Amino acid sequence: MLTAGIAALNSTAPKTETIMPCVHAVTFESKVLGKSKTFCVVLPENYVKEAHPWPVLFLFHGRGRHDRSLIDDPAARKTLLSAPFVTILPDGDDGWYINLPVKKDDRYQDYMDEVITVATKEYNLSTDPKQRGLSGWSMGGYGCTRYAIANAGKFAALAPIIGLLDFPRTGLPKGQTYTVPTDRFGSDEKTWPALNPINQVKRLQHMALCIITANTAFDRTMNENFVARLTELSIEHEWHLLKGGHTFDIVRESIPIVVEFMTKHLNAE
Cα(124)–Cα(24) distance, integer angstroms: 15
Give yes or no for residue 158 having a pLDDT over 70: yes
pLDDT at 230: 98
The enclosing domain of 207 has a CATH number of 3.40.50.1820
In a domain, 93, yes or no: yes
Q: What's the pLDDT tens digit per position in 89-115?
A: 999 999 999 998 888 889 999 999 999
Q: Residue 44 in contact with residue 86, Cβ under 8 Å?
A: yes
In a domain, 251, yes or no: yes
In a domain, 115, yes or no: yes
Q: 87 pLDDT band (50/70/90 cuts)?
A: very high
In a domain, 97, yes or no: yes
Q: Which residue range(s) make up the domain with 115?
A: 6-265
In a domain, 1, yes or no: no
Give yes or no for residue 23 having a pLDDT over 90: yes
Measured between its terminal Cα atoms, the distance across the chain in Å is 29
List, in sequence order, every residue forming a beta bridge with 89; answer none if it has no partner. 40
29 vs 103, more confident: 29
> pTM of whole model > 0.75?
yes
Q: 159 pLDDT band (50/70/90 cuts)?
A: very high
Q: Residue 54 in contact with residue 85, Cβ under 8 Å?
A: yes
Give the number of domains in the chain: 1
Q: Residue 96 in contact with residue 108, Cβ under 8 Å?
A: yes
pLDDT at 5: 43
In a domain, 57, yes or no: yes
